[in-house]
Structure 1
Amino acid sequence: MTKFIRYFLLLLLTNQAIAQSITPDEYLGFPLGSKFAFHSQITDYINTLQARNPDRMKITRYGTTNEGRPLMVAFIASPENMSKLNAIRENHLKSIGMLPGKPDASVPPIVWLSYNVHGNESVSANTSMKVVYELLNKNNALTQEFLKNMVIMIDPCINPDGYERYSQWYNRVQNVTPDVTPFALEHDEPWPGGRFNHYLFDLNRDWAWQTQKETQERIVLYNQWMPHFHADFHEMGPARSYYFPPAAKPYNKDVTAWQRQFNELIGEYCRKYFDKNNWAYFTKNDYDLFYPSYGDTWPTANGAIGVTYEQGGGGRAGLALEREDEHDTLTLKNRIDHHYATSLATLEAVLSQKDKVVSEFIKFHQDAINAPIGNFKTYVIKAKGNEERIRSFGSWMEKQGFTYGIAGKSISTKGTELTTVTEQAIKIENNDLLISAYQPKSNLLRILFDPKPVLEDSVTYDVTSWGLAYVFGLKAYGLKEKLVPAAYQPAKIENPIPASSPYAYIANWSEVEDAVFLADLLKNGILVKTSNVPFEMDKISYSAGTLIITKKGNENVAFDKLVTSLATKHHIQLMPVKTGYVSSGPDFGNDNVVAIKAPKIVAVSGDGISPTAFGGVWHFFEQQIKYPVTIVSAARLASLPWNEIDVLILPDGRYGDIINDKHLEALQNWVKNGGKIIAMERATEAFMNKPGFALSKKFSDKKKDADFFKKFGEQQREEASDSSPGSMFQITLDPTHPLAFGCSKEYFTIVRDAYEREYLKDGWNVGYLTEDGYKAGFVGTKMTGKLKNTLIMGVQDLGRGHVVYLMDDPVFRSMLYNGKILFSNAVFR
């Protein structure tokens, strides 16, 4: 009997072990790395492991993508730590001041590993299965040590929609035996590729701005956990080897000595694995820690150790790719092995310094609360006249995890105006926003407000200026003194139906929500007019662009109820008026008061078009102002029914093979009959120096002799000298033109290229760069001259229609508040 019991217990334990340890190969039905698993297979596998290991694993579904796929994080820890997971979280947040009270126990390091932020860098999501399996593998002594000493968070796929776009395509076109030929179909991913999310945004550039659904939902969870370490797994071109830290310069100056030190330590642990296996790698090149909106830099600004890993491969690599220069064939299995190795190296490095990882993190945040570094101890945002913009800004700050309030009283002091970086006398008023630097996220706050980030090295590959005063178009000041904010409660806007129906309702035009309101009115069939010049009524001044919604022309709708309810919905304060007569300016029947048509809008996508530029336009209409836009393929452009279209949007792209002279003639005739073209960035080249179009190129000086004798070894810096990866400039606007209505007096934009356009001789030069337009960020010496006295925004009147030339993308990454207002003008006015 005793023998039977022992045998039964042994059999039971053996079956449990088998049940707990199902491998990716066993679950998928094919060897990991022999094909791309679909996203549903990856999530099902991880859910299966959780069901079999409930004492060591918990899954949190933190959101869904635009296409409805789950976003999830797997928490993995020892049974002891898993049983007190929420207590660990609360004690951790208390220790850094993000929850009230004092911790009653110490906490282990919290490590978050993020895979596949770029969908076609698909080795990452496949690697995540192996990582989760080995963390739960009781026979792996190393991983069990990790579980005893830390809480590990695994996000198997940050960008499921992009990943599935790639894996579905690849699994359809691949040969039974992977074709290693570089020019084979399976290495030629079609437009728009899987890199981006549903709206073709780069989620790795969205951490600070949180414009995308996936980012917003992920950062809610991030702020609930505030991990000590965050690793971001990527791929790069297939000809390259593997990158791991130390990171390249430039580092943001606010990266701490401890974070820099740990960056070096990570490299040491990664090298052990790569040297042992004779794998190629590089460090200290290309991948810097400067722009604060990446998956390594945003966590770093939040006190974590943030790192990026880059495997050679990407969408072109497929399952196997012959690399002549390397004398090898790069396989998906190779790539999985490399990412798996750096995943383990990461955890080993954290384990080796587990106590200091925690103590330094606490110190980082306690210092921020008690003695924040930097010149400014308080930030002031002027509120008067910017109420809706303040509401939007406050919502963004809450997503970041910042605390703020209002002044609560009048204060006279001095402060540094953050767009001119000059000290000025300032009168703080009761409702002005105050943001104290004495808070846990003070370092992130300081970095994002920084009007002139210090760049220690010119070779960087992304935006080099991002100050919040520029981005939101707000009048902001940095104060050296500490001011304590009072509680802030946004004013509730209501628009009751007047006792007697008014002649018209007036609404201001200066905020993005005003454009959302306009779009909703037009969708509901409301006739909306606008004044093209300023006017005054009842001693109130109204700017050009003000919306005028008259009862006349809206007799067929429940006018008062519909207009007031839509205004309240969108936080718009209406002004009912009893007459169309004004004390100054044009009466409402004047020719300067014009109707805004509900336009039929078409945007071009497809081969040759920048996916992210198109995505910015698409997201603007669908998710921001919620107005219908029809998407067409560039290949269909010549055969569109032009009589049904009002506005044609040409996002940045190469239009040489899309728009020929015959197409231009047809487009010109359509515009003359009342159509409107909005050509953005490189799309403007299709109209440059063409008959009937007013756009022409400025010609630079001929190359100097020195250009012919540049040094090969300095080619990277030579290229940088003729670039602007993303620097802040002030555009000089003509505020009287409808394209500029509602934009702040100071219009700032992120310049990424010099298009060198002449001022329009037959048209309106609405926005242009002067000699002193530069504000902040890196601009190469050769680029500097090109960014002076050049057209940025112009409008050509052509017959009854218009051509809008935008050499700058106003909806770039959905970052710039004033840009969205200007783009709304381009569409509706």
Structure 2
Amino acid sequence: MRIFTCLFAFLMVMQHQAQDLKSPSEFLGYELGSQFTRHHEVVSYFKYVSEALPTQVQLQPYGYTNERRPLMFAVLSSPENMQNVEALRTAHLQSTEGGGDSQVAVVWLSYNVHGNESVSTEASMQTLYDLLTSKKAYLENTLVIIDPCINPDGRERYVNWYYQYKNTPYQVDANSKEHREGWWSGRSNHYMFDLNRDWAWLTQVESQQRLKQFNKWMPHIHVDFHEQGMNNPYYFAPAAEPYHEVITDFQREFQVKIGKNHARYFDQNGWFYFTREVFDLFYPSYGDTYPTYNGAIGMTYEQGGSGRAGLGVIVASGDTLTLKDRIAHHLTTGLSTVEVASQNAGTLNEEFRNFFKGDKDFKYKSYILNGDQDKQRALAELLDKHEINYGWAGESTVRGLNFGSGASASLKTNSRSMVVSTNQKKGTMVKVLFEPNAVLSDSLTYDITAWSLPYAYGLDALASEGLVKPNTSQAAPWSAISTGIEKGAFAHVGDWNSMKDARFLSDLVQNGIGVRRSERAFQLGGKTWDAGSLIITRGDNLRKPDFEQVLQSLVEKHQKPLTPARTGMVDSGKDFGSRYVGMIPETRVAVLSGEPTSTLRFGEVWHYFEQQLHYPITVLDAEYFDGVALGEYDVLVLPDGWGYRSFLNESRKGQLKDWVADGGRLIAMGRALAYLGGEDGFSIERKERESEDLEAETPPSFAETSRERIRGEITGAIFKTRVDPTHPMAFGYGDTYYTLKLGSDTYILPDGGTVAALGESPLPVAGFAGSKAVTNLSKSLVFAMENYGRGEVVYMADNPLFRGFWENGKLFFANAIFMAE
């Protein structure tokens, strides 16, 4: 009786605490939706709730952004569940091994991955409150995880901007400044990356820290809350085609179940919505697809509004869309999702176990990867973050599909051959990330259609239909690297094959160590060194008394093996004093930002230098570009963008030509190329599309227009290119390179200086390319360099830095900085 009395008293206290819990409006001191809530206030509310209801809410900090804002999520459920939350989590994770008997559903709600899609963070606070009060019955068999803001840096950028420019009271006219963000909108994170496209690639600190927590929970359902154009109604599941073929029938059907429940509430309120359009489930790096490929029901919810809507705006229908409206819609779908999870907790657990049970019926069971150890190591680091297992082969011969030839072939393996198998917990993710060419059920997609990691990392790969069991106990080949240097040696020589080598060189240069690079291959001490090899001589560093100590520390820091040379005379090739063995200068780099450029493309360059190459850059904004003395810089990068037609006028072209002629190096990317040519420009020339026979085909109907348009587009497909490995911009590469082509713009090959180009009548090795688009690709430029006066212009028609994940393209960019003399 005493136990029952204590329990009753405990429950009464909990009920009283829940009744006394302040709503977001009460806590913040203003009605939710009447203002935008700043990030620190959101954090304060979540802390308040966790302290007011400690038996039901746990607040989990999981890191910081680049701008030092806290990242966190709340775990909430019934008091009984939270008392055993760690046991429930452990039991749930056993399901990923095909076992366990958990009956509690795990739902993860992620808000504000795009900073200026700001309503979702507001909705997260009300969702938290309602789940603990009016909807607490849902929590009896459900654990809910709420991440109120995935992208605090971007959201604060938007909120700060809005408060700077909003009218008082707010103006509903969409032409007012408060509805027109500038070039750097709040959508992206600090480095201007789209965090909703980074789940698989993990280039950003927010993604890296979040995935550690995701892997600890592996939810049954994950929702990514978004906003779209302000004139659009609400979007929710089920998603549009294409669905990736690995998505199970249950995952498809449960999306429909959830969508129907949402529709019930929206119908009651007379709210408009749409499903099965635009937002597909294919590209693996989204907040809906990545969880889906890890067994969850992954969904995107899109509210109309985004950065244009502010606190209220008149939309095309003539109605006024307010922040309060937007909150109500996201609140409804969030609560509806938890409701459906609670009603189907048993089914969710059973199907989740089924997802991870047994051998997957995938065509390819194993992927074997040979190649440069630095590239293998970079891939291994990514796999570790995803908790994907890998190991090493023995001496054997394996037959399968060769990624390079696209045909069946044999591959000899050894202890340095990396093996990644689908026979593991993350086997579905392995199939999606490694498959040679994903099957498209519909060519109308929302994103790129190819991403296969063997191509992205530049490794020789084979896909085997048989299971090759990896040796997971063997240490990685690079763990035995010797990193010592020989005191008093004439020189130390290192290879040049990867971004790891580029980071090492970056550190050498910044530490004042003189480095040479060989323009020709040479032999020394029985070993062949390729063009681009780094040569660090004692003679070039005589004025640096601590030269050997600094070199040793950098060798250890980068785990970079160097080979000592006791002489500067090589066995064959060019000696170390030859004019073909030139010094690598400390290069002063500037990057253009502002309206001509795309924020995403500028961000990729910015992130590349600061977080990957670790080399300083100066950012020059277009607003004051004309007043900058370009002679202070050795390299100027023009990132891809839409605004170069007006920016590259006759005056600025002349300024750039004079600077290049005086010894500058201009690196032009993407659409910048189109406006650098012409009579008053450089020699780059756009390739005109071949004329079409207008009478050859019946014009498409209005309904068929979008499918006709896609025939002239390339939606992120992989093409094999031929490379000139003797060109300084291609040092570290062989005679082929796989490029990720993101559009149909093409350029004519220059008379000299071609670095990488497509061959005659190329077809994609993976991904979709429209039939009209590929006809114009024949013998077109990928990378090239034009000599102009004493300087150079580097042309990059394709983007080797796209989203920071195309690892094998990044050395081209390093070559353009350090090697392209």
Q: TM-score, normalised by structure 2?
A: 0.95
TM-fit CA distance, 1:744: 4.6
Matching residue within 324, 330, 339 for 1:333 = 324
- CA distance, structure 1, for counterparts of residue 274 and residue 705 of structure 2: 19
Q: Does 1:568 align with 2:556?
A: yes
Query: How far apart, CA to CA, are the structure 1 residues paired with 2:681 and 2:303?
Result: 50
Other-structure match for 2:624: 636
SS in 2 for 1:63: strand
Could you say which residue in structure 2 is the equivalent of 1:543? 530
Report the alpha carbon displacement of residue 218 of structure 1 after superposing the two structures with TM.
0.4
Structure-1 residue corresponding to 2:124:
128
Please tell me the residue identity of whatever aligns with 1:441: K
- 1:4 corresponds in structure 2 to none
1:322 equivalent in structure 2: 314
Shift of 1:659: 2.5
Residues 14-413 of structure 1 correspond to what in structure 2 (within 5 A)?
16-17=16-17, 20-97=20-97, 103=100, 106-137=102-133, 140=134, 143-323=135-315, 325-367=316-358, 371-383=359-371, 386-407=372-393, 409-413=394-398
Q: What's the offset of the Cα at 1:746?
A: 3.0
Secondary structure of 1:154's aligned partner: strand
1:612-761 equivalences in 2 (<5 Å): 612-653=600-641, 654-691=643-680, 693-705=682-694, 709-761=699-751
2:497 matches 1:510: yes
Deviation at 1:14, TM superposition (A): 11
Tell me the number of residue pairs that the alignment of Structure 1 and Structure 2 aligns. Answer: 803
> Which residue identity is paired with 1:284?
R
Q: Distance in 2 between matches of 1:204 and 1:389?
A: 25
Question: How far does the alpha carbon of each residue in 1:565-611 deviate from its partner, in whole angstroms, 9 at most, with x for none?
Answer: 21221121101100111111110111111111111100011123100
- In 2 relative to 1, CA 445–822 (structure 1 residues): closer, same or farther, beyond 3 Å? same
Instruction: Using the aligned pairs only, state the percent identity.
Output: 40
1:789-825 Cα offsets, whole Å, 9 max, x none, are: 2112111101111000111111010111121101100
Give how far 1:16 is off: 4.8
**Within 2, Cα distance between the matches of 1:146 and 1:50?**
18
- Asked if 1:593 corresponds to 2:593, the answer is no
Distance 2:176 2:125 in 1: 29
C-alpha distance in 2, partners of 1:764/1:783? Answer: 25
Q: Determine the C-alpha separation between the residues in 2 that align with 1:51 and 1:159.
A: 24
Return the offset for 1:62.
Answer: 0.9
Give the secondary structure class of the aligned counterpart of 2:541.
coil
- Equivalent residue of 2:66, what SS? coil
Q: 2:6: which partner in 1?
A: none
Report deviation, 1:644: 1.0
Superposition deviation, residue 692 in structure 1: 5.3
Normalised to the residue count of structure 1, the TM-score between the two structures is: 0.95
For the residue of structure 2 that corresponds to 1:747, the secondary structure is strand
CA distance in 2, matches of 1:462, 1:503: 52
Distance 1:366-1:640 versus aligned 2 partners, 3 A rule? same
Q: Which amino acid aligns with 2:490?
A: Y
Runs of 4+ in 1 over 4 A off after TM superposition: 12-16
Q: Is the 8 A contact 1:495 1:565 kept in 2?
A: no
The letter of the residue matching 1:495 is T
Say whether the 8 Å CA contact 1:388–1:571 is kept in structure 2: no
Q: Distance in 2 between matches of 1:690 and 1:166?
A: 42
Moved more, 549-558 or 819-828: 549-558
Residues 740 and 766 in structure 1, CA contact (< 8 A), matched pair in contact too: yes
Q: Which residue of 1 aligns with 2:3?
A: none
Query: Quick check: 1:697–1:758 contact (8 Å CA) kept in 2?
Result: yes
Does the 8 A contact of 2:574 with 2:581 survive in 1? yes
Residue 514 of structure 1 and its aligned partner are, at CA, apart by 0.3
Match of 2:5 in 1: none
Residue 274 of structure 2: SS of its match in structure 1?
Answer: coil
Aligned-partner residue type, residue 391 of structure 2: G
Q: Tell me the SS of whatever aligns to 2:226.
A: strand
> CA contact under 8 A between 2:714 and 2:743: conserved in structure 1?
yes
For 2:671, give the aligned amino acid. Answer: R
For 1:289 and 1:622, the matched residues in 2 are separated by 33
- Rounded Cα–Cα distance in structure 1 between residues aligned with 2:447 and 2:14: 53
In 1, are the aligned partners of 2:725 and 2:734 still within 8 Å (CA)?
no
SS at 1:208 equivalent: coil
Which residues of 2 match residues 425-574 of structure 1 at below 5 A? 425-486=410-471, 487-490=473-476, 491-498=479-486, 500-557=487-544, 558-574=546-562
Distance, in Å, in 2 between the alignment partners of 1:513 and 1:13 is: 59
Partner Cα separation in structure 2 for residue 419 and residue 157 of structure 1: 42
Q: Aligned residue for 2:780?
A: 790
Cα separation, 2, equivalents of 1:230 and 1:733: 43
SS in 2 for 1:381: strand
Contact kept in structure 2, 1:811 and 1:819, CA below 8 Å: yes
How much has 1:195 moved relative to structure 2? 0.5
**Residue identity in the other structure for 2:796:** L
- Counterpart in the other structure of 1:610: 598
Offset at residue 418 of structure 1 (A): 2.7
Is the 8 Å Cα contact of residues 490 and 537 (structure 2) preserved in structure 1?
Answer: yes
Task: Tell me by how many angstroms 1:745 deviates.
Answer: 4.0
State the superposition RMSD in angstroms.
1.7
Cα–Cα, structure 1 residues 450 and 20, in superposed 2: closer, same or farther, change >3 Å?
A: farther
Specify the code of the residue in structure 2 equivalent to 1:517: F
Unmatched tracts of structure 2, length 5 or more: 1-8
- The superposition leaves residues 611-657 of structure 1 with CA deviations (integer Å, 9 ceiling, x where unpaired) of 01000000001101110011110122222112211000000112222
SS at match of 2:516: strand
Q: CA offset at residue 714 of structure 1? A: 1.7
- Tell me whether 657-666 or 488-497 shows the greater mean CA deviation: 488-497
Other-structure match for 2:818: 828
Q: What is the identity, as a one-letter code, of the residue corresponding to 2:736?
A: E
Letter in 2 for 1:111: V
* Partner amino acid, structure 1, of 2:344: Q
Structure 1 counterpart SS, 2:357: helix
- Counterparts of 1:538 and 1:524, CA distance in 2: 29
Paired with 1:767 and 1:108, the residues of 2 have a C-alpha distance of: 54
The DSSP-based 3-state class of the residue aligned with 1:582 is coil
Q: Which amino acid aligns with 2:769?
A: V
Contact 1:744 1:818 in 2 (8 A): no
Kindly provide the amino acid, as one letter, of the partner of residue 656 in structure 1. R
Deviation at 1:483, TM superposition (A): 2.7
Q: Residue by residue, what CA displacement relative to the aligned partner does 1:457-487 show, whole Å, maximum 9, x if unpaired? A: 1111211011111111111112222232221
SS at match of 2:263: helix
Tell whether the 8 Å contact from 1:410 to 1:428 is kept in structure 2 after alignment. Answer: yes
Matched AA of 1:196: S
Kindly provide the CA deviation profile for residues 253-303 of structure 1, in whole angstroms up to 9, marking residues without a partner as x.
111011011111111111011100000111110000011110000110011
CA drift of 1:191 comes to 1.4
CA contact (8 A) 1:743 1:818 kept: no
Residue among 799, 810, 813 paired with 1:809: 799
